A and B are shown apart, each in its own frame.
Chain A
Amino acid sequence: MKTAHPTRKPPSTALGAPLLEVHDLAVAYGGIRALKRVSLEVRCGEIVAMIGANGAGKTTTLKTIMRLLPIAAGRISYDGQDLAGVATEEVVARGVSLVPEGRAIFVNLTVRENLELGAWNHKDQRTIQETLEDVVKLFPRLGERMKQEGGTLSGGEQQMLAIGRALMARPAMLLLDEPSLGIAPRLVADIFEAVALVAASGTTILLVEQNTRLALKYSTRAYVLRTGEIAMSGSSKELANNEEIRAAYLGG
Protein backbone atom coordinates (compact mmCIF):
# COMPACT_ATOMS: atom_id res chain seq x y z
CA MET A 1 0.00 0.00 0.00
CA LYS A 2 1.31 3.36 -0.94
CA THR A 3 -0.14 6.56 0.30
CA ALA A 4 1.06 9.51 -1.63
CA HIS A 5 1.39 12.34 0.76
CA PRO A 6 3.55 15.00 -0.79
CA THR A 7 4.78 17.60 1.62
CA ARG A 8 3.80 21.11 0.73
CA LYS A 9 7.15 22.72 0.91
CA PRO A 10 10.03 20.32 0.82
CA PRO A 11 12.64 21.50 3.31
CA SER A 12 15.93 22.63 1.89
CA THR A 13 17.57 20.27 4.34
CA ALA A 14 18.86 17.11 2.68
CA LEU A 15 17.59 13.72 3.77
CA GLY A 16 19.49 12.63 6.87
CA ALA A 17 20.72 16.11 7.77
CA PRO A 18 19.35 17.80 10.91
CA LEU A 19 15.93 19.34 10.21
CA LEU A 20 15.00 20.40 13.72
CA GLU A 21 17.65 21.38 16.25
CA VAL A 22 16.94 22.21 19.86
CA HIS A 23 19.91 23.54 21.75
CA ASP A 24 20.08 23.97 25.55
CA LEU A 25 16.40 24.90 25.68
CA ALA A 26 15.02 26.18 28.98
CA VAL A 27 11.38 27.09 29.52
CA ALA A 28 9.83 28.76 32.53
CA TYR A 29 6.16 28.45 33.21
CA GLY A 30 4.39 30.62 35.77
CA GLY A 31 7.53 30.92 37.84
CA ILE A 32 8.52 27.27 37.54
CA ARG A 33 11.26 26.00 35.31
CA ALA A 34 9.53 23.32 33.29
CA LEU A 35 12.53 22.66 31.07
CA LYS A 36 16.02 23.09 32.42
CA ARG A 37 18.25 22.17 29.56
CA VAL A 38 17.04 20.18 26.60
CA SER A 39 19.06 19.55 23.48
CA LEU A 40 17.92 17.30 20.70
CA GLU A 41 17.93 17.03 16.98
CA VAL A 42 15.66 15.39 14.46
CA ARG A 43 17.11 14.56 11.07
CA CYS A 44 15.17 14.80 7.88
CA GLY A 45 13.14 11.62 7.29
CA GLU A 46 13.54 10.23 10.82
CA ILE A 47 10.98 9.15 13.37
CA VAL A 48 12.33 10.29 16.71
CA ALA A 49 10.57 9.47 19.97
CA MET A 50 10.67 11.40 23.20
CA ILE A 51 9.82 9.31 26.24
CA GLY A 52 9.67 9.96 29.94
CA ALA A 53 7.28 10.12 32.85
CA ASN A 54 4.42 12.51 32.93
CA GLY A 55 5.65 15.89 34.01
CA ALA A 56 9.11 15.39 32.58
CA GLY A 57 8.57 18.24 30.12
CA LYS A 58 7.70 16.45 26.88
CA THR A 59 4.59 18.45 26.09
CA THR A 60 6.40 21.63 27.10
CA THR A 61 9.13 20.84 24.59
CA LEU A 62 6.64 20.33 21.76
CA LYS A 63 4.64 23.43 22.63
CA THR A 64 7.79 25.49 22.76
CA ILE A 65 8.89 24.22 19.37
CA MET A 66 5.49 25.35 18.07
CA ARG A 67 6.15 28.67 19.78
CA LEU A 68 3.10 28.39 21.99
CA LEU A 69 5.36 28.90 25.01
CA PRO A 70 8.12 31.47 25.42
CA ILE A 71 11.75 30.38 25.31
CA ALA A 72 13.61 31.29 28.50
CA ALA A 73 17.02 30.31 27.20
CA GLY A 74 18.52 28.28 24.40
CA ARG A 75 17.77 28.00 20.71
CA ILE A 76 15.37 26.20 18.41
CA SER A 77 16.01 26.08 14.70
CA TYR A 78 14.02 24.46 11.95
CA ASP A 79 15.29 23.90 8.43
CA GLY A 80 18.33 26.02 9.27
CA GLN A 81 16.33 28.99 10.52
CA ASP A 82 16.01 30.22 14.08
CA LEU A 83 12.48 30.04 15.49
CA ALA A 84 12.99 32.71 18.15
CA GLY A 85 10.47 35.50 17.62
CA VAL A 86 8.48 33.45 15.12
CA ALA A 87 4.73 33.22 15.70
CA THR A 88 2.95 29.88 15.91
CA GLU A 89 1.09 30.54 12.67
CA GLU A 90 4.40 31.15 10.93
CA VAL A 91 5.89 27.93 12.28
CA VAL A 92 2.90 26.11 10.80
CA ALA A 93 3.35 27.96 7.51
CA ARG A 94 7.00 26.85 7.42
CA GLY A 95 5.87 23.24 7.49
CA VAL A 96 5.69 22.04 11.11
CA SER A 97 2.38 20.74 12.46
CA LEU A 98 1.53 19.56 15.95
CA VAL A 99 -1.09 17.02 16.89
CA PRO A 100 -1.75 18.29 20.40
CA GLU A 101 -2.18 16.20 23.50
CA GLY A 102 -5.83 15.42 24.14
CA ARG A 103 -6.49 15.87 20.40
CA ALA A 104 -8.08 19.34 20.70
CA ILE A 105 -10.41 18.86 17.77
CA PHE A 106 -13.12 21.43 17.14
CA VAL A 107 -16.03 19.60 18.72
CA ASN A 108 -18.88 21.57 17.17
CA LEU A 109 -17.47 21.61 13.67
CA THR A 110 -18.05 18.71 11.29
CA VAL A 111 -15.24 16.33 10.45
CA ARG A 112 -14.98 17.94 7.03
CA GLU A 113 -14.79 21.43 8.53
CA ASN A 114 -12.13 20.27 10.98
CA LEU A 115 -10.06 18.92 8.11
CA GLU A 116 -10.59 22.01 5.98
CA LEU A 117 -9.36 24.22 8.79
CA GLY A 118 -6.22 22.12 8.88
CA ALA A 119 -5.52 23.36 5.37
CA TRP A 120 -5.86 26.99 6.45
CA ASN A 121 -2.65 28.04 4.73
CA HIS A 122 -3.66 26.51 1.42
CA LYS A 123 -6.12 28.50 -0.59
CA ASP A 124 -6.07 26.27 -3.67
CA GLN A 125 -9.26 24.17 -3.63
CA ARG A 126 -7.72 21.41 -5.76
CA THR A 127 -4.78 20.88 -3.47
CA ILE A 128 -7.11 20.81 -0.50
CA GLN A 129 -9.35 18.25 -2.20
CA GLU A 130 -6.39 16.05 -3.07
CA THR A 131 -4.97 16.21 0.42
CA LEU A 132 -8.40 15.42 1.81
CA GLU A 133 -8.55 12.31 -0.34
CA ASP A 134 -5.10 11.26 0.89
CA VAL A 135 -6.19 11.67 4.49
CA VAL A 136 -9.35 9.64 3.89
CA LYS A 137 -7.24 6.92 2.28
CA LEU A 138 -5.09 6.91 5.39
CA PHE A 139 -8.07 6.89 7.77
CA PRO A 140 -11.08 5.43 5.94
CA ARG A 141 -13.19 5.81 9.08
CA LEU A 142 -13.06 9.57 8.70
CA GLY A 143 -14.51 9.32 5.22
CA GLU A 144 -17.62 7.66 6.64
CA ARG A 145 -18.07 10.42 9.20
CA MET A 146 -17.51 13.56 7.13
CA LYS A 147 -20.77 15.26 8.08
CA GLN A 148 -20.71 14.33 11.76
CA GLU A 149 -19.68 16.86 14.38
CA GLY A 150 -16.20 16.21 15.73
CA GLY A 151 -17.46 15.87 19.26
CA THR A 152 -19.58 12.85 18.36
CA LEU A 153 -16.58 10.72 17.34
CA SER A 154 -15.00 8.09 19.56
CA GLY A 155 -11.64 8.80 21.17
CA GLY A 156 -9.73 6.85 18.53
CA GLU A 157 -11.59 8.48 15.70
CA GLN A 158 -10.93 11.88 17.22
CA GLN A 159 -7.23 11.06 17.29
CA MET A 160 -7.41 10.09 13.63
CA LEU A 161 -9.16 13.36 12.93
CA ALA A 162 -6.52 15.29 14.83
CA ILE A 163 -3.73 13.62 12.87
CA GLY A 164 -5.62 14.01 9.61
CA ARG A 165 -6.24 17.66 10.37
CA ALA A 166 -2.53 18.23 10.97
CA LEU A 167 -1.69 16.42 7.74
CA MET A 168 -4.03 18.71 5.82
CA ALA A 169 -1.37 21.38 6.16
CA ARG A 170 0.98 19.03 4.26
CA PRO A 171 3.67 19.44 6.86
CA ALA A 172 7.29 18.52 6.28
CA MET A 173 7.53 17.73 9.94
CA LEU A 174 4.85 16.32 12.20
CA LEU A 175 4.93 16.55 15.99
CA LEU A 176 2.71 14.04 17.78
CA ASP A 177 1.83 14.42 21.45
CA GLU A 178 0.64 11.22 23.13
CA PRO A 179 -1.34 9.76 20.22
CA SER A 180 -2.22 6.64 22.23
CA LEU A 181 -3.62 8.47 25.24
CA GLY A 182 -7.08 7.24 26.21
CA ILE A 183 -7.64 5.20 23.06
CA ALA A 184 -8.88 1.65 22.69
CA PRO A 185 -5.84 -0.66 22.19
CA ARG A 186 -7.32 -1.98 18.94
CA LEU A 187 -7.23 1.51 17.43
CA VAL A 188 -3.80 2.37 18.82
CA ALA A 189 -2.17 -0.09 16.43
CA ASP A 190 -4.11 1.37 13.50
CA ILE A 191 -2.98 4.85 14.41
CA PHE A 192 0.66 3.89 14.73
CA GLU A 193 0.56 2.03 11.41
CA ALA A 194 -0.83 5.18 9.82
CA VAL A 195 1.92 7.26 11.39
CA ALA A 196 4.47 4.86 9.97
CA LEU A 197 2.90 5.29 6.53
CA VAL A 198 3.07 9.05 6.84
CA ALA A 199 6.73 8.78 7.75
CA ALA A 200 7.35 6.45 4.82
CA SER A 201 5.99 9.11 2.48
CA GLY A 202 8.77 11.45 3.60
CA THR A 203 7.37 13.34 6.58
CA THR A 204 9.79 13.72 9.48
CA ILE A 205 8.23 12.83 12.81
CA LEU A 206 8.89 13.74 16.42
CA LEU A 207 6.76 11.54 18.63
CA VAL A 208 6.03 12.04 22.31
CA GLU A 209 4.62 8.91 23.83
CA GLN A 210 4.14 7.55 27.29
CA ASN A 211 3.75 4.03 26.00
CA THR A 212 7.48 3.41 25.83
CA ARG A 213 7.21 0.03 24.17
CA LEU A 214 5.21 1.43 21.26
CA ALA A 215 7.38 4.52 20.99
CA LEU A 216 10.58 2.52 20.77
CA LYS A 217 9.04 0.06 18.33
CA TYR A 218 8.07 2.68 15.78
CA SER A 219 10.94 5.14 16.14
CA THR A 220 14.49 5.03 14.85
CA ARG A 221 15.99 7.05 17.67
CA ALA A 222 14.76 8.21 21.05
CA TYR A 223 15.43 10.69 23.83
CA VAL A 224 14.58 10.06 27.47
CA LEU A 225 13.42 13.17 29.28
CA ARG A 226 13.57 13.38 33.05
CA THR A 227 12.53 16.46 35.08
CA GLY A 228 13.22 18.89 32.32
CA GLU A 229 16.48 17.41 31.15
CA ILE A 230 17.60 14.84 28.62
CA ALA A 231 18.66 11.86 30.68
CA MET A 232 19.56 9.47 27.89
CA SER A 233 19.46 9.17 24.14
CA GLY A 234 20.33 6.67 21.49
CA SER A 235 18.90 4.40 18.85
CA SER A 236 15.55 2.95 19.78
CA LYS A 237 16.87 -0.61 19.63
CA GLU A 238 19.68 0.19 22.04
CA LEU A 239 17.35 1.91 24.44
CA ALA A 240 14.84 -0.94 24.31
CA ASN A 241 17.58 -3.26 25.52
CA ASN A 242 18.96 -0.87 28.11
CA GLU A 243 18.57 -2.30 31.62
CA GLU A 244 17.69 1.02 33.21
CA ILE A 245 15.03 1.79 30.61
CA ARG A 246 13.57 -1.66 30.92
CA ALA A 247 13.29 -1.31 34.66
CA ALA A 248 11.92 2.22 34.66
CA TYR A 249 9.66 2.34 31.65
CA LEU A 250 9.11 -1.13 30.26
CA GLY A 251 8.20 -2.86 33.48
CA GLY A 252 11.22 -5.14 33.68
Chain B
Amino acid sequence: MMEILSALITGIAQGSMIALIALGYTMVYGILKLINFAHSEVFMMGAFIGLFAITALGGTQAPLLAGVGGTLCAMAFAGVLGVVVERVAYAPLRGRGRGLSNTRITPLVTALGMSVLLQNLAQLLFTARYRNYPQLLPIEHTRKVIFVTAVLVMIGLELFVKRTWMGKAMRAISMNAEAARLMGVKTSRVIAITFVTGSMLAALGAVLFCLDQSPVYPTAGVVIGTRAFVAAVIGGIGNITGAMLGGLLIGVIGELTKLTPYSGLQDVLVFAALIAVLLVRPTGLLGKPGTEKV
Protein backbone atom coordinates (compact mmCIF):
# COMPACT_ATOMS: atom_id res chain seq x y z
CA MET B 1 0.00 0.00 0.00
CA MET B 2 2.76 2.39 0.99
CA GLU B 3 4.54 1.39 -2.17
CA ILE B 4 1.58 2.38 -4.29
CA LEU B 5 1.24 5.67 -2.47
CA SER B 6 4.88 6.56 -2.93
CA ALA B 7 4.70 5.50 -6.55
CA LEU B 8 1.73 7.83 -6.98
CA ILE B 9 3.66 10.73 -5.46
CA THR B 10 6.69 10.10 -7.66
CA GLY B 11 4.39 9.65 -10.61
CA ILE B 12 2.75 13.00 -10.01
CA ALA B 13 6.13 14.74 -9.77
CA GLN B 14 7.32 12.98 -12.92
CA GLY B 15 4.04 13.72 -14.61
CA SER B 16 4.14 17.42 -13.88
CA MET B 17 7.58 17.63 -15.47
CA ILE B 18 6.39 15.72 -18.48
CA ALA B 19 3.48 18.15 -18.62
CA LEU B 20 5.87 21.10 -18.76
CA ILE B 21 7.48 19.62 -21.84
CA ALA B 22 4.13 18.58 -23.29
CA LEU B 23 3.06 22.24 -23.21
CA GLY B 24 5.62 23.07 -25.88
CA TYR B 25 4.21 20.45 -28.23
CA THR B 26 0.68 21.52 -27.53
CA MET B 27 1.24 25.25 -27.98
CA VAL B 28 3.10 24.88 -31.26
CA TYR B 29 0.56 22.39 -32.55
CA GLY B 30 -2.27 24.67 -31.55
CA ILE B 31 -0.87 27.50 -33.63
CA LEU B 32 0.89 25.86 -36.54
CA LYS B 33 -0.83 22.44 -36.62
CA LEU B 34 2.70 21.11 -36.68
CA ILE B 35 4.22 18.40 -34.54
CA ASN B 36 7.47 20.03 -33.52
CA PHE B 37 9.65 16.94 -33.36
CA ALA B 38 12.68 19.09 -32.52
CA HIS B 39 11.08 20.05 -29.21
CA SER B 40 12.55 17.03 -27.43
CA GLU B 41 16.00 18.16 -28.54
CA VAL B 42 15.38 21.65 -27.20
CA PHE B 43 14.59 19.92 -23.91
CA MET B 44 17.86 17.97 -24.07
CA MET B 45 19.94 21.02 -24.98
CA GLY B 46 18.29 22.90 -22.13
CA ALA B 47 19.32 20.15 -19.75
CA PHE B 48 22.93 20.39 -20.92
CA ILE B 49 23.10 24.17 -20.66
CA GLY B 50 21.43 23.96 -17.24
CA LEU B 51 24.10 21.54 -16.07
CA PHE B 52 26.94 23.71 -17.33
CA ALA B 53 25.45 26.87 -15.85
CA ILE B 54 24.76 25.24 -12.49
CA THR B 55 28.31 23.93 -12.35
CA ALA B 56 29.70 27.31 -13.36
CA LEU B 57 27.65 29.09 -10.71
CA GLY B 58 29.11 26.96 -7.94
CA GLY B 59 26.90 23.88 -7.87
CA THR B 60 26.41 22.52 -4.37
CA GLN B 61 28.47 25.39 -2.91
CA ALA B 62 25.68 27.84 -3.61
CA PRO B 63 22.57 25.73 -4.24
CA LEU B 64 20.07 28.58 -4.44
CA LEU B 65 22.09 30.80 -6.80
CA ALA B 66 23.19 27.86 -8.92
CA GLY B 67 19.70 26.39 -9.05
CA VAL B 68 17.85 29.56 -9.94
CA GLY B 69 20.61 31.04 -12.09
CA GLY B 70 21.22 27.80 -13.91
CA THR B 71 17.53 27.34 -14.63
CA LEU B 72 17.24 30.87 -16.00
CA CYS B 73 20.31 30.36 -18.20
CA ALA B 74 18.91 27.12 -19.55
CA MET B 75 15.55 28.75 -20.21
CA ALA B 76 17.10 31.71 -22.01
CA PHE B 77 19.22 29.46 -24.18
CA ALA B 78 16.33 27.14 -24.99
CA GLY B 79 14.13 30.11 -25.87
CA VAL B 80 16.67 31.30 -28.41
CA LEU B 81 17.19 27.79 -29.74
CA GLY B 82 13.45 27.31 -30.17
CA VAL B 83 13.17 30.44 -32.29
CA VAL B 84 16.23 29.47 -34.32
CA VAL B 85 14.68 26.10 -35.08
CA GLU B 86 11.45 27.79 -36.11
CA ARG B 87 13.17 30.34 -38.33
CA VAL B 88 15.49 27.81 -39.97
CA ALA B 89 13.23 24.82 -40.45
CA TYR B 90 9.61 25.94 -40.38
CA ALA B 91 9.28 29.61 -41.31
CA PRO B 92 10.71 29.25 -44.83
CA LEU B 93 8.05 26.66 -45.63
CA ARG B 94 5.10 28.70 -44.47
CA GLY B 95 2.93 30.06 -47.20
CA ARG B 96 4.93 28.17 -49.80
CA GLY B 97 3.59 25.40 -51.95
CA ARG B 98 0.07 26.55 -51.18
CA GLY B 99 -2.51 24.14 -52.44
CA LEU B 100 -0.10 21.26 -52.82
CA SER B 101 -1.17 18.17 -50.97
CA ASN B 102 1.98 17.73 -48.95
CA THR B 103 2.13 21.23 -47.44
CA ARG B 104 1.66 19.72 -44.01
CA ILE B 105 3.99 16.80 -44.47
CA THR B 106 7.06 18.74 -45.58
CA PRO B 107 7.39 20.69 -42.30
CA LEU B 108 7.19 17.39 -40.47
CA VAL B 109 10.19 16.17 -42.42
CA THR B 110 12.20 19.30 -41.65
CA ALA B 111 11.11 18.95 -38.02
CA LEU B 112 12.43 15.41 -37.93
CA GLY B 113 15.56 16.62 -39.70
CA MET B 114 16.15 19.31 -37.08
CA SER B 115 15.68 16.74 -34.35
CA VAL B 116 18.31 14.43 -35.84
CA LEU B 117 20.59 17.40 -36.41
CA LEU B 118 20.41 18.73 -32.85
CA GLN B 119 20.78 15.29 -31.32
CA ASN B 120 23.97 14.61 -33.21
CA LEU B 121 25.22 18.12 -32.69
CA ALA B 122 24.92 17.51 -28.95
CA GLN B 123 26.79 14.26 -29.34
CA LEU B 124 29.49 16.06 -31.28
CA LEU B 125 29.79 18.90 -28.77
CA PHE B 126 29.16 17.16 -25.47
CA THR B 127 29.96 13.48 -26.31
CA ALA B 128 27.59 10.62 -25.59
CA ARG B 129 28.63 10.44 -21.92
CA TYR B 130 25.91 10.34 -19.26
CA ARG B 131 26.25 13.27 -16.88
CA ASN B 132 24.56 13.82 -13.55
CA TYR B 133 23.45 17.07 -12.00
CA PRO B 134 24.89 17.94 -8.61
CA GLN B 135 22.53 17.22 -5.73
CA LEU B 136 21.29 20.71 -4.90
CA LEU B 137 18.43 19.68 -2.62
CA PRO B 138 17.48 16.57 -0.68
CA ILE B 139 15.37 14.41 -2.92
CA GLU B 140 12.04 14.83 -1.04
CA HIS B 141 12.37 18.60 -1.33
CA THR B 142 13.27 18.38 -4.99
CA ARG B 143 10.01 16.59 -5.70
CA LYS B 144 8.01 19.25 -3.84
CA VAL B 145 9.80 22.04 -5.69
CA ILE B 146 9.11 20.29 -8.99
CA PHE B 147 5.44 19.88 -8.29
CA VAL B 148 4.89 23.42 -6.99
CA THR B 149 6.85 24.96 -9.85
CA ALA B 150 4.93 22.98 -12.42
CA VAL B 151 1.55 23.93 -10.97
CA LEU B 152 2.51 27.62 -10.73
CA VAL B 153 3.74 27.61 -14.32
CA MET B 154 0.52 25.99 -15.52
CA ILE B 155 -1.59 28.61 -13.77
CA GLY B 156 0.62 31.37 -15.10
CA LEU B 157 0.41 30.04 -18.62
CA GLU B 158 -3.34 29.65 -18.45
CA LEU B 159 -3.63 33.30 -17.37
CA PHE B 160 -1.21 34.39 -20.09
CA VAL B 161 -3.18 32.65 -22.78
CA LYS B 162 -6.62 33.66 -21.54
CA ARG B 163 -6.02 37.21 -20.36
CA THR B 164 -3.22 38.89 -22.27
CA TRP B 165 -3.33 40.34 -25.76
CA MET B 166 -0.58 38.01 -26.85
CA GLY B 167 -2.49 35.02 -25.53
CA LYS B 168 -5.62 36.10 -27.34
CA ALA B 169 -3.64 36.53 -30.53
CA MET B 170 -2.27 33.02 -30.09
CA ARG B 171 -5.73 31.58 -29.70
CA ALA B 172 -6.98 33.60 -32.65
CA ILE B 173 -4.18 32.29 -34.87
CA SER B 174 -4.88 28.72 -33.81
CA MET B 175 -8.51 29.15 -34.84
CA ASN B 176 -7.95 31.01 -38.08
CA ALA B 177 -4.51 32.28 -38.96
CA GLU B 178 -5.62 34.21 -42.02
CA ALA B 179 -8.34 36.04 -40.12
CA ALA B 180 -5.83 36.90 -37.41
CA ARG B 181 -3.59 38.49 -40.01
CA LEU B 182 -6.56 40.45 -41.26
CA MET B 183 -6.86 41.90 -37.76
CA GLY B 184 -3.32 43.20 -38.14
CA VAL B 185 -1.74 40.54 -35.94
CA LYS B 186 1.87 40.00 -36.93
CA THR B 187 1.64 36.24 -37.05
CA SER B 188 5.35 35.56 -37.38
CA ARG B 189 5.98 37.46 -34.16
CA VAL B 190 3.28 35.57 -32.31
CA ILE B 191 4.64 32.28 -33.63
CA ALA B 192 8.13 33.22 -32.45
CA ILE B 193 6.79 34.04 -28.98
CA THR B 194 4.98 30.70 -28.91
CA PHE B 195 8.22 28.90 -29.67
CA VAL B 196 10.09 30.92 -27.05
CA THR B 197 7.50 30.15 -24.39
CA GLY B 198 7.29 26.46 -25.21
CA SER B 199 11.05 26.07 -25.35
CA MET B 200 11.60 27.90 -22.07
CA LEU B 201 9.09 25.63 -20.37
CA ALA B 202 10.88 22.62 -21.82
CA ALA B 203 14.18 23.87 -20.40
CA LEU B 204 12.56 24.42 -17.02
CA GLY B 205 11.20 20.89 -17.17
CA ALA B 206 14.63 19.65 -18.22
CA VAL B 207 16.45 21.22 -15.28
CA LEU B 208 13.83 19.96 -12.82
CA PHE B 209 13.99 16.54 -14.40
CA CYS B 210 17.75 16.30 -14.07
CA LEU B 211 17.71 17.64 -10.51
CA ASP B 212 15.52 14.66 -9.78
CA GLN B 213 18.46 12.28 -10.25
CA SER B 214 18.17 11.77 -13.99
CA PRO B 215 21.30 11.91 -16.11
CA VAL B 216 21.57 14.06 -19.22
CA TYR B 217 22.89 12.68 -22.51
CA PRO B 218 22.35 13.49 -26.18
CA THR B 219 19.48 11.08 -26.71
CA ALA B 220 17.79 11.98 -23.41
CA GLY B 221 15.24 13.97 -25.35
CA VAL B 222 13.97 10.96 -27.25
CA VAL B 223 12.63 9.05 -24.26
CA ILE B 224 11.20 11.97 -22.33
CA GLY B 225 10.21 13.86 -25.44
CA THR B 226 8.21 10.89 -26.68
CA ARG B 227 6.42 10.58 -23.36
CA ALA B 228 5.68 14.29 -23.30
CA PHE B 229 4.42 14.18 -26.83
CA VAL B 230 2.15 11.26 -26.01
CA ALA B 231 0.94 13.19 -22.96
CA ALA B 232 0.06 16.16 -25.14
CA VAL B 233 -1.88 13.97 -27.54
CA ILE B 234 -3.70 12.04 -24.83
CA GLY B 235 -4.77 15.27 -23.18
CA GLY B 236 -5.90 16.70 -26.51
CA ILE B 237 -3.13 18.35 -28.47
CA GLY B 238 -3.58 22.09 -28.63
CA ASN B 239 -5.16 22.12 -25.19
CA ILE B 240 -3.10 23.42 -22.28
CA THR B 241 -5.11 21.83 -19.46
CA GLY B 242 -5.07 18.64 -21.47
CA ALA B 243 -1.28 18.64 -21.51
CA MET B 244 -1.22 18.81 -17.72
CA LEU B 245 -3.74 16.00 -17.43
CA GLY B 246 -1.93 13.86 -19.99
CA GLY B 247 1.40 14.45 -18.29
CA LEU B 248 0.09 13.37 -14.90
CA LEU B 249 -1.51 10.30 -16.43
CA ILE B 250 1.69 9.26 -18.15
CA GLY B 251 3.74 9.91 -15.04
CA VAL B 252 1.49 7.83 -12.83
CA ILE B 253 1.19 4.99 -15.36
CA GLY B 254 4.97 4.93 -15.64
CA GLU B 255 5.58 4.74 -11.91
CA LEU B 256 2.88 2.16 -11.35
CA THR B 257 4.33 -0.16 -14.01
CA LYS B 258 7.62 0.01 -12.16
CA LEU B 259 5.90 -1.85 -9.30
CA THR B 260 5.09 -4.78 -11.57
CA PRO B 261 7.58 -7.27 -13.03
CA TYR B 262 7.04 -5.65 -16.43
CA SER B 263 8.92 -2.42 -15.69
CA GLY B 264 10.64 -2.70 -19.07
CA LEU B 265 7.30 -2.37 -20.78
CA GLN B 266 6.64 1.12 -19.42
CA ASP B 267 6.77 2.78 -22.82
CA VAL B 268 4.75 0.01 -24.42
CA LEU B 269 2.00 0.79 -21.93
CA VAL B 270 2.35 4.50 -22.60
CA PHE B 271 1.80 3.94 -26.30
CA ALA B 272 -0.96 1.44 -25.70
CA ALA B 273 -2.71 4.04 -23.52
CA LEU B 274 -2.26 6.56 -26.31
CA ILE B 275 -3.85 4.35 -28.94
CA ALA B 276 -6.65 3.37 -26.58
CA VAL B 277 -7.46 7.01 -25.76
CA LEU B 278 -7.36 8.04 -29.42
CA LEU B 279 -9.69 5.25 -30.42
CA VAL B 280 -12.24 6.26 -27.81
CA ARG B 281 -11.76 10.01 -28.16
CA PRO B 282 -10.14 10.73 -31.52
CA THR B 283 -8.96 14.20 -30.48
CA GLY B 284 -7.70 13.32 -27.00
CA LEU B 285 -9.34 13.62 -23.61
CA LEU B 286 -9.95 17.37 -23.67
CA GLY B 287 -9.55 18.05 -27.37
CA LYS B 288 -12.42 19.70 -29.15
CA PRO B 289 -13.95 17.23 -31.56
CA GLY B 290 -14.52 18.28 -35.12
CA THR B 291 -12.04 21.15 -35.21
CA GLU B 292 -9.49 19.12 -37.12
CA LYS B 293 -9.75 19.99 -40.78
CA VAL B 294 -9.51 17.43 -43.53
Residues of A that sit less than 8 Å from B by CB: 29-30, 66, 68, 87-89, 92-93, 97-98, 100, 104-109, 113, 116-118, 120-121, 165-166, 169
Contact = CB atoms under 8 A, between A and B. Distances in A.
Contacts of B183: 92, 117-118, 120, 165, 169
Interface stretch (B41-49, B107-115, B171-179, B262-270): B171-179
Contacts of A121: 184
16 contacts: A29-B99, A66-B182, A89-B184, A89-B187, A92-B181, A92-B182, A92-B184, A100-B178, A106-B175, A107-B175, A108-B175, A109-B171, A117-B172, A120-B183, A120-B184, A169-B184
Contacts of B98: 29-30
Contacts of B165: 120
B181 A88 contact: yes
B1 interface: no
A115 to B, nearest CB: 10
A116 B163 CA distance: 12
- Tell which of A29, A105, A106 has the most Cβ of chain B within 10 Å: A106
Nearest to A30: B99
A169 B184 CA distance: 9
Contact of B168 (A100, A104, A107, A109): A109
Contact of A104 (B171, B178, B184, B185): B178
Interface in B172-228: 172, 175-176, 178-187
Given A30-B99, A106-B171, 15 more contacts: A88-B182, A89-B187, A92-B183, A100-B178, A105-B176, A105-B179, A106-B172, A108-B288, A109-B168, A109-B175, A113-B168, A117-B168, A120-B184, A120-B185, A169-B183
Contact of A108 (B171, B179, B182): B171
A153 to B, nearest CB: 14
A104 B176 contact: yes
B113 to A, nearest CB: 25
Interface string B59-79: 000000000000000000000
B252 interface: no
B27 interface: no
A72 to B, nearest CB: 13
Query: Which of A89, A92, A109 gathers the greatest number of chain B CB atoms within 10 Å?
Result: A89
Which of B172, B175, B183, B288 neighbours the largest number of chain A CB atoms within 10 Å of its CB? Answer: B183
Nearest to A105: B179
Nearest to B184: A92
A68 B171 contact: no
B169 A106 contact: no
A74 B168 CA distance: 36
B100 interface: yes
A30 B179 contact: no
A120 B99 CA distance: 29
A38 B169 CA distance: 34
Nearest to B181: A88
Interface in B129-159: none
Contacts of A169: 183-184
A117 B175 contact: no
A106 B168 CA distance: 10
Contacts of B184: 89, 92-93, 120-121, 169
A240 B176 CA distance: 37
A204 to B, nearest CB: 17
A100 B177 CA distance: 12
A118 B165 CA distance: 12
Contacts of B181: 68, 88-89, 92
Contacts of A30: 98-100
Nearest to B100: A30
Given A30-B100, A100-B178, A105-B179, A89 B185 contact: yes
**Residue among B165, B171, B184 with max Cβ neighbours from chain A (10 Å):** B184
A98 B182 contact: yes
Contact of B185 (A66, A107, A117, A166): A117
Contacts of A100: 178-179, 182
Given A30-B98, A117-B180, A109 B172 contact: yes
Contacts of B99: 29-30
